[in-house]
Amino acid sequence: MGELDPDCVFCKIIRKEIPSVAVFEDEELFCFQDANPQAPTHLLLIPKRHVTGIDVATWKDADWLGRMLALVPSLAARTGIRKEGYRVVVNSGRAGGQTVFHLHLHLLGGRNMTWPPG
């Protein structure tokens, strides 16, 4: 799919240099359990190429970005949170709460979510 950043923690997870608990993997996307979960179910879904964040996405990325979102219901079903409900989050930039600058989608569930979230 593209280049990986040698210093990015998520790229290291994709390359299996850092262990993770994989939930889903295909040619373009990788999903794994968050090492610091904020809910009973907390998954991270990432592209298998280094994309710094949603703010750099363009129309050329629409196919794989659409696949990311379309994958969410099956991941929620697989982890048992689809029926009760779940939250999907994408943080953008430091002020938006992004701490790892590799695009990632959080899938959280297994408890009641509150609002506002942060």
104 classed as catalytic: yes
Q: Which of 42, 50, 104, 106 is catalytic?
A: 104
How far apart (Å, rounded) are the C-alpha atoms in residues 108 and 43?
A: 7
Q: Which residues are catalytic?
A: 104
